[in-house]
Every structure is written in C-alpha cells, then in structure tokens.
Structure 1
Amino acid sequence: MKHFSEISATAERVVDAAEGLIQARGYNGFSYDDVARLVGIKKPSIHHHFATKSELAAVVAQRYTHRFKELLLQIEGSSVKAAERLSAYAALFEKTFSTDKHLCVCGMLGAESSSLPEIVNHEVQRFFDANLDWLTQIADDGQRAGQLTSKLSPQSIAETYLSLLEGAMVVGRGMQKASGPAIVADHFLKTLTVN
C-alpha cells in the first residue's frame, strides 16, 4: 500500500474526493465513477493511482489520522488545562460536522467495519487507538492536577468522550440538527470539571 506522503498531486485530488464521499456517504456509498466525476479524470486513471477501492480508502484513513494527530499536537501547544484541551478536541469534531453534517472519516468507516476490507479496518483502528491514547493521557494529567473530577478511570473517560463525540455527529445528522458535538461535549465536560 502507498503511504499518503508519497502520492502525486493527481492522486491527492483523488484522495480528497474520496474523503468527502466517505464523510457524506460511507465506503459502500461511493464508486470510482463518483470519484472520477469529482476529480474530472477517467476511471482508469484512478486505478493507475489506486488499484483497488480498499487501497484508496486505506490511504484516506491514513492521511486523516496523520492530520488529526497534527491537530492534537497543536492543541497541546496552545492549551494547558485538561478541560481546555478536551474542549478544543471537541471543536475538531464540530468543525467537521459543520461542513454539511459530514461525519468523521474513521467514525463513518468504523460504522461499516463488518463490510470493510482488513486494510481499511487496520487504518481505522490506528485512528481510534491514537485518539484514545491521547485522550487517556489528557484525562490522567487532568485528574492528577486536580482539574478533572470523576470516579471514572482516565481510559473510561477517553472512551466515553470519543464515543460521545462520534455519536453526537451521527445523531445530529439523523435528526437534521444544526447543533453537533460541541454542545454535547460542553455538557459532558461540566460533569468532569472542578467548579
């Protein structure tokens, strides 16, 4: 499988188109014909860059994870308190949702995991592992500093928070609500923070 950093400019346009389609329709909801129309190239050209749809989706998830991890580093560099970091984390989900009620790429793929090729599921798992590791560390640091109060373990806080944000996107889309994960995150964070 190609690494996202090694792809050509045309292949990157293909990945961009596939990412938007996954966020809007899921893996099983788009074809190479859809991508070709968006990019303005012929379907065989897509096969030249990505022999299979599973390879394309895996590269989409790989790049999405990389970008997300960069955003987590930015949060660490700009926020000190755990609650601020967790709020900034929720803002990442809100930004995605505010774009035509798009869902997180890996959240959408995760919902389809039983029908996905292993190569795609592997990249989705990497995304969730990276997020849970980061959230667990933030929760642990926050509890140790007395900034977060909860009887839940840091890992339980991380799993609950990630599930809450991903779920808020799905419910928000299903109910055609304008509000997304940020409001739900705010309510949850109030239960964790010291007054």
Structure 2
Amino acid sequence: MKHFADISPTAERVVDAAEGLVQLHGYNGFSYDDVARLVGIKKPSIHHHFPKKEELVAVIAQRYTHRFREELLRIDQQHARAPQRLTAYAALFERTYASDRRLCVCGILSAESDSLPDVVTDEVAQFFKVNLDWLTGVVAEGQRAALIRAGAGAAELAEAFLCALEGAMVVGRGMRSARGPARVGKTFLATVLA
C-alpha cells in the first residue's frame, strides 16, 4: 500500500477531493467519476495513482490519522491541563463539522465497516486507537490532578467522550442542525470535571 507522504501532487489532489466526498457520502457513496469531475482529470488518471478504490480510501484514512496525531501534539504543546486539552480536542471535531456538516473521515467509514475492505478498516481502527490512547492519557492525568472525577476509569471516560463527539456529528447532520460537537463536548465535560 502507498504511504500518503510518498504520493505525487496530482495524487494528493485526488486524495483531497476524495476525502471531502467520503466525509459527505461515505465509502459507498462516491465513485472515481465523482473524483475525476472534482479534480478535473480523466478517470484513468485516478486509476494510475490508485488502481483500486480501497487503496485510495486507505491513504485518505492514513493521512487523516496522521493529521489528527499532529493536532493532538499541538494540543499537548498549547494546553497544560486536561480540561483545556479536552476542550481543544472537541474543537477539532467542531471544525470538521462546521464545514458543510462534514463528518470525521474515520467516523463515517466505521459506520460502513462491515462492507469495507480490510485495508481500510485497519486504517480506521488505527485512527480510533490513536485517539483513545491519547484521550485515556489526558483523562488519567486529569484524574490524578483531581480535575476530572474518578468515578469511572480513564479508558471508559475517554471512549465515552469520543463517542459523544462522533455521535454529535451524526445526530447533528441527521437533524440538519448547525449545533455541532463542541456543544456536546462542553456538556459532557461539565458532568465529569471536578
């Protein structure tokens, strides 16, 4: 499989266009014809860079995870305490949702996981592992500092927070609501902060 860092500028344009389509329609909701129209190239050119759709979407998820990991590092550098880190984390989801009620790439792909090729589901699982590992560490740190209630384990609270944010995007889109994950994140944090 290709690595996102090794693709050409044209292939990156393909990935950019396809990422937006995934966020709006999921894996099964777009075709190479849709991507070709957006990028302004012929469909065989897309096949040259990504012979199979599963390769393209795996690269999309891989790059999305990498970018998210970079955002988590930025949050760590900019915020010293767990409550501020968790608020900044919710803002990542809000930024995505604020762009035409787009969903998290890996969130929408996970909804289709039973019909996806393994190479894609493996990348989606990696995204959630990265996020849950980071969130668990932040929550545990907050609990040690007595900033987050210790009633539930750090891993359980981390998973609940991630589910709340991903779910807020889906429910918000379903209700055609401009209210996004930041509001749900704020409500969730209000219930767990000490």
**Fold similarity call, TM over 0.5:** yes
CA RMSD of aligned residues (A): 0.5
Structure 1 stretches of 4+ moved >3 Å: none
Unaligned runs of 5+ in 1: none
1:35 is the counterpart of 2:35: yes
Paired with 2:180 and 2:14, the residues of 1 have a C-alpha distance of 28
1:15 is the counterpart of 2:15: yes
Give 1:186's aligned residue: 186
Offset of residue 150 of structure 1: 3.5
Give 1:172's aligned residue: 172
* Identical aligned residues as a percent: 63
The one-letter code matched in structure 2 to 1:167 is G
Give 1:90's aligned residue: 90
Offset of residue 193 of structure 1: 1.1
Structure 2 counterparts to residues 11-160 of structure 1, below 5 A: 11-160=11-160
Instruction: Give the number of equivalent residue pairs.
Output: 194
Paired with 1:84 and 1:133, the residues of 2 have a C-alpha distance of 17
What do the CA deviations read for 1:29-58 (whole angstroms, capped 9, x no partner)? Answer: 000000000000000000000010000000
Q: Normalising by structure 1, report the TM-score.
A: 0.99
Offset of residue 192 of structure 1: 1.2
Unaligned runs of 5+ in 2: none
Could you say what secondary structure the match of 1:96 adopts? Answer: helix
Paired with 1:178 and 1:57, the residues of 2 have a C-alpha distance of 27
Q: Normalising by structure 2, report the TM-score.
A: 0.99
Give 1:5's aligned residue: 5
Paired with 1:134 and 1:161, the residues of 2 have a C-alpha distance of 12
Offset of residue 87 of structure 1: 0.4
What do the CA deviations read for 1:65-124 (whole angstroms, capped 9, x no partner)? Answer: 000000000000000110100000000000000000000000000000000000000000
Offset of residue 165 of structure 1: 0.3
The one-letter code matched in structure 2 to 1:87 is T
Could you say what secondary structure the match of 1:187 adopts? Answer: helix
The one-letter code matched in structure 2 to 1:104 is C
More divergent stretch after superposition (142-151 vs 115-124): 142-151
